[in-house]
Structure 1
Amino acid sequence: MEPDQKDTSVKDFIELVKKSRRGKLKIYIGMSAGVGKTYRMLQEAHALLKNGIDIQIGYIETHNRAETHALLAGIPVISRRKTFYKGRELEEMDLQAIINRHPEVAIVDELAHSNIEGSKNSKRWQDVMDILEAGISVITAINIQHLESLNEEIEDITGIPITERVPDKILEVADEIVNIDLTADELIARLKEGKIYDKAKVETALQNFFRNEKILQLREIALKEVAHHLERKIDIEVPKQIKLRPERFLACISSNSETAKIVIRKTARLASYYRSPWIVLYVQSSSESLERIKLDKQRHLINNFKLATELGAELIKIKSDEITKTIMKVAEEKEVTTICIGKPHLNLWQVILRTAIFNELLNKIAATETDLVILS
């Protein structure tokens, strides 16, 4: 065996060993607050306790819902970590205490939560990954609007910006995903009964987030998302005799922040659907050099690079004034099957269409059976 092959074999075996030691992850997902995710987690905790499983609460948020709060009785709770932040005493999940206590299963609510500055990890989903790596299984919960790649689509529906987000890869590593589904009428009835928010807030909620048409759209997205991940799990675990051409996506971005975010998120969705590797390519032309673009654009660009890596992309940055040639070269080298670009401004689009380079790119794409997708 060649040295390189031996190294690869060893690395593969190490990954198998690590995977066998890693805890299992179960995620309860819902279309919105109030569908009963936390309630179901606590019900499951009681069932596991009765069956002799050492399950403890790492973090839970009952939102003062009486029915949910009542289920806390009898389940061991790991104390939260108290910390001072901006002159106030706050409580956070104690990651190290969970790892030290090492229950078989930990309940960790509010997966999309952002940790207080100075914590080991900036996000709770990262804490969950650490807990899993320590060999502890985790049951957690999240609302569909907190998934990174769905962020803009759901913001368009609800009109509410979502600042706390979780990369889609967290669903990909989950061993089980359970959708807590309610009809729009059932959810609104729970709201009116005061089971979601204090009754003083009910009317405002009904006029904003909890409108029938919004709930129906969110419900459809949640159902599709869980169905997609179930199909993905079946595809992985049930071997197929016919091997299809492996998909590989290339997302091409510029310093245009909004277009770049759309291209990154939508390409991430495509890659997730096909279980494919994907690449984000930024070609820095001389007009976009650090000396020429404003600081806010530089900051947005860095944030988009971070978004791409969080969503699982390989990031490539190249300095060149021959943008289309560079795209073509990277596509060939990386054996890309689909190139994704944002919809340019009309005048720029007309210019590109008239160039020989772009026509050459199209010819190359046709010759290699590579697809071009224009995202908007």
Structure 2
Amino acid sequence: MESNRLTPEEALKKYEKEKRGKLKIYLGYAPGVGKTYTMLREANIRVKRGEDICIGYLEPHDRKATLEQVGILETIPYKEIEYGNKKYSEVNIEEIIKRKPKIVLIDELAHTNIKGSKNKKRYEDILEILEAGINVNTTLNIQHIESLNDIVYTITGIEVREKIPDSIINIADEVEVIDISASGLEERLKRGEVYNLKVASAALKNFFRRGNLNALRELSLRRIAQEVDISLLEYMEDKNITTNWHTTERVLVSISSSPRADKVIRYGARIAQRYKCEFYIISIEPYGLLKKGFSEKDWEVIKKHEELGKSLGAETYRLKGKNIAKKILEFANQKRITQIVLGHSKRNKLPTFFKGSVINYIIEHSKNSEIRIVPWQNL
């Protein structure tokens, strides 16, 4: 039992995490999908059950349906800041901490604060409020995530200037995707429910083109799938679950220094592209009493294969092992691989008799992965 006790440092880290407020993000793929509407509606339901929830900042964009969802929610006064002979409203961090509700609703996580504010970005305001032990619910569109910024530009041709670091998403305790079909969002725009009809008409020809919306929607759904997958892996590791639950496909290709291994890589890439899933390539250098490892020429060929794999979206790994088959299975279990792709070379029967077949061993001992063999005629 002694080994399970936390160190003082671990205990302090756990205490700090538990003391911090919880962050929930309502994530959408475009304006108008219903993030703020949903956040307000759910908050009203919980307030009626007796929970202490307040509005810390709301940006309804003059949308009637959104304003109607404010309902009975208390609003903490905004901070008024004068800049350029105009007054602007921002999150009032001090008033929120003073009021200390159980949950505060703060719209538009990626917002840039007006000059003269305490913090440059709204997410920095939210981090302060979380540190004070107050839970925060907020809203965000997928195009504002830093790592996706260039992809969004490629899709839409529009540069999104307001960005948040991925680390903010990573610390969120809950991310809820608010989804609607692209055609459904188009109908909202045409009815003037997102912007006035003149603005909506122009938007439908630019950012809100059907292709753009479908691509952004897929980005949003895949991002949340990634978050769920990480949470699931953490749960399985915490509970010491070694069985592969096959919730998502993961493809592994094992290559040698054979010049024909490129065909196995392409075969594996086609599977990964079909499922839009993680794709791994490994090369295993043999070592032992009678094994010399790879020669310089072998490494040149493997490097060429790795470059091909990376161009097709694969992560590449170089490993060493006395037993190649066991090493492949060990890696497959570690990465929770669902499909292993191997090349079947035209091998002399005598070496197979003495050394055994790598493929046969993997087929016999693999419990969690499907095995796909590319015939030697195709190599």
Q: TM-score normalised to the size of structure 2?
A: 0.62
For 1:237 and 1:77, the matched residues in 2 are separated by 37
Give the aligned partner of residue 45 of structure 1. Answer: 43
Larger of the two Rg values belongs to structure:
2
1:272-287 superposed matches below 5 A: none
Show the counterpart of 1:223. Answer: 221
Cross-structure match for 1:159: 157
Confirm whether residue 206 of structure 1 aligns to residue 215 of structure 2: no
Partner residue of 2:15 out of 5, 17, 22:
17
Instruction: Provide Cα deviations, 1:220-273, integer angstroms capped at 9, x if missing partner.
Output: 000000111011111123324569xxxxxxxxxxxxxxxxxxxxxxxxxxxxx9
Instruction: Verify: 1:115 aligned to 2:113, yes or no.
Output: yes
Query: Shift of residue 183 of structure 1?
Result: 0.7
The structural deviation recorded for 1:40 is 0.1
1:1-376 mapped onto 2 (5 Å cutoff):
9-238=7-236, 239=238, 240=240
Identity, % of aligned positions: 40
Question: How far apart in 2 are the matches of 1:103 and 1:47?
Answer: 16
CA distance in 2, matches of 1:160, 1:90: 26
Q: 1:366 to 1:14 in 2, by over 3 A?
A: closer
d(CA) in 1 for partners of 2:9, 2:132: 19
CA distance in 1, matches of 2:206, 2:171: 34
Q: Which amino acid aligns with 2:169?
A: L
Q: Distance in 2 between matches of 1:237 and 1:119?
A: 40
* Cα distance between partner residues in 2 of 1:9 and 1:119: 40
Counterpart CA distance in 2 for 1:11 and 1:117 is 39
Letter in 2 for 1:167: P
SS of the aligned residue for 2:187 comes to helix
Distance 1:23 1:75 in 2: 20
- In 1, Cα distance between equivalents of 2:197 and 2:17: 46
1:201 Cα shift?
A: 1.0
Deviation at 1:119, TM superposition (A): 2.2
Supply the distance in 2 between the matched residues of 1:88 and 1:101 (Cα, whole angstroms). Answer: 28
Corresponding residue number in structure 2 for 1:320: none
8 Å Cα contact 2:44-2:70 kept in structure 1:
no
Equivalent residue letter for 2:69: L
Once the two structures are superposed, residues 41-79 of structure 1 have per-residue CA deviations (whole angstroms, 9 ceiling, x without a partner) of: 000110110111100000011000001111113110011
Q: Distance in 1 between matches of 2:214 and 2:53?
A: 35
**Which consecutive unaligned segments of at least 5 residues does structure 1 have?**
1-7, 244-272, 275-337, 344-364, 370-376
Query: For the residues of structure 2 that align with 1:201 and 1:90, how far apart are their CA atoms?
Result: 23
- TM-score normalized by the length of structure 1: 0.62
In 2, Cα distance between equivalents of 1:366 and 1:74: 61
Specify every segment of 5 or more residues in structure 2 that has no aligned partner in the other structure, as ranges. Answer: 1-5, 244-276, 279-305, 312-317, 322-326, 328-379
Residues 102-131 of structure 1 show CA distances to partners (whole Å, capped at 9, x for unaligned) of: 000000100000112232221111111111
Give 3-state SS (helix, strand or coil) of 2:188's partner.
helix
- Aligned partners of 1:367 and 1:153: how far apart in 2? 36
State the secondary structure of the residue aligned to 1:177. strand
Name the CA distance, whole Å, in 2 between partners of 1:63 and 1:92.
15
The residue type paired with residue 198 of structure 1 is N
**RMSD between aligned residues:** 2.8
Residues of 1 paired with 2:81 and 2:117: CA distance? 10
- Give secondary structure in 2 for the equivalent of 1:221: helix
- 1:8-42 Cα distance to aligned partner (Å, 9 max, x none): 93222111111111111111000000000000000
Report the alpha carbon displacement of residue 366 of structure 1 after superposing the two structures with TM: 7.7
- Taking the aligned partners of 1:205 and 1:92, their CA distance within structure 2 comes to 27
Distance 1:102 1:175 in 2: 19
